[in-house]
Structure 1
Amino acid sequence: MAIQWFPGHMTSARKKAAETMAKTDVVIEVVDARLPEASSNPMIRELRLHRQRPCLKVLNKADLADPAVTQAWIDHYNRQPGVKAIAISGKKAADVAKIPGQCQGLAPHRNDNLKPLRMMIMGIPNVGKSTLMNALLKRKVAAVGDEPAVTKSQQTLDISPRMSITDTPGLLWPKIVHDSDGYMLAASHAVGVNAVIEEEVASHLAEILLARYPALLTARYGFATEGLDGIGVVEAVARKRGCLLKGRKPGELDLTKAAIILLTDYRGGVLGRISLETPESRSAMLATTPAPPDAGGQ
Structure 2
Amino acid sequence: MQNLQWYPGHMAKTRRLIEANLKLIDVVVEILDARIPFSGRNPHFDDIIKNKPRLLVLNKADLADKNRTKLWIDWYAEQGLKVIPISCTTGMGINTVIAEARALIQDKIDRERERGRNRTLKIMMVGIPNVGKSSLINRLIGKASTKTGDKPGVTRGKQWLRIKGDAELLDTPGILPPKFEDQTVAVKLAYTGAIKDEIMNTELLAYSLCDYLRDNYPNELCTRYKLDTVEGLKGYEVLEKIGKKRGFVISGGEIDMERAANMVLDELRGAKIGHITLETPSQLNEQE
Q: TM-score range by the shorter chain?
A: over 0.9
Specify whether residues 200 and 110 from structure 1 end up closer, same or farther in structure 2 by C-alpha distance, changes over 3 A only: farther
Q: C-alpha distance in 2, partners of 1:106/1:32?
A: 22
Q: Could you say which residue in structure 2 is the equivalent of 1:106?
A: 104
Q: C-alpha distance in 2, partners of 1:156/1:80?
A: 30
2:32 is aligned with 1:27: no
* 1:185 aligned to which of 179, 182, 189: 189
Q: Could you say which residue in structure 2 is the equivalent of 1:225?
A: 230
2:257 is aligned with 1:255: yes
Measure how far apart 1:94 and its partner are: 4.7
Q: Which runs of structure 2 are paired with 1:45-60 in the superposition (5 Å)?
A: 45-49=46-50, 52-60=51-59
Answer yes or no: is the 8 Å Cα contact 2:86–2:92 preserved in 1: no
Measure how far apart 1:92 and its partner are: 3.0
Equivalent position amino acid for 2:3 in 1? A
Measure how far apart 1:244 and its partner are: 2.7
Measure how far apart 1:253 and its partner are: 1.6
* 2:209 aligned to which of 201, 205, 208: 205
Q: C-alpha distance in 2, partners of 1:65/1:38?
A: 14
Equivalent position amino acid for 2:179 in 1? K
Q: C-alpha distance in 1, partners of 2:25/2:268?
A: 36
Answer yes or no: is the 8 Å Cα contact 2:161–2:169 preserved in 1: yes
Q: C-alpha distance in 2, partners of 1:183/1:9?
A: 22
Equivalent position amino acid for 2:286 in 1? A
Q: C-alpha distance in 2, partners of 1:93/1:71?
A: 19
Q: Secondary structure at the match of 1:77?
A: helix
Q: Could you say which residue in structure 1 is the equivalent of 2:176?
A: 172
* 2:249 aligned to which of 241, 244, 250: 244
Q: Which runs of structure 2 are paired with 1:261-272 in the superposition (5 Å)?
A: 261-272=263-274
TM-score (norm 1): 0.91
Q: Could you say which residue in structure 2 is the equivalent of 1:71?
A: 70
Q: C-alpha distance in 2, partners of 1:272/1:154?
A: 36
Answer yes or no: is the 8 Å Cα contact 1:188–1:267 preserved in 2: yes
Equivalent position amino acid for 1:231 in 2? Y
Q: C-alpha distance in 2, partners of 1:215/1:191?
A: 28
Cα displacement string for residues 197-253 of structure 1 (whole angstroms, at most 9, x for unaligned residues): 1011111111110111001111011112122111111111111112133xx5x1122
Equivalent position amino acid for 1:176 in 2? F
Q: Secondary structure at the match of 2:203?
A: helix
Structure 2: give runs of 5+ residues left out of the alignment: none
Q: C-alpha distance in 2, partners of 1:110/1:136?
A: 21
Measure how far apart 1:260 and its partner are: 0.6
Structure 1: give runs of 5+ residues left out of the alignment: 287-298
Measure how far apart 1:149 and its partner are: 1.1
2:49 is aligned with 1:36: no
Q: C-alpha distance in 1, partners of 2:68/2:283?
A: 11
RMSD: 1.4
Q: C-alpha distance in 1, partners of 2:98/2:217?
A: 35
Cα displacement string for residues 38-69 of structure 1 (whole angstroms, at most 9, x for unaligned residues): 000012121111xx211111011111111111
Measure how far apart 1:114 and its partner are: 3.9
Equivalent position amino acid for 1:152 in 2? R
Equivalent position amino acid for 1:121 in 2? M
Q: C-alpha distance in 2, partners of 1:93/1:219?
A: 28
Measure how far apart 1:12 and its partner are: 0.6
Answer yes or no: is the 8 Å Cα contact 1:110–1:116 preserved in 2: no
Equivalent position amino acid for 2:287 in 1? M
Measure how far apart 1:161 and its partner are: 6.4
TM-score (norm 2): 0.94
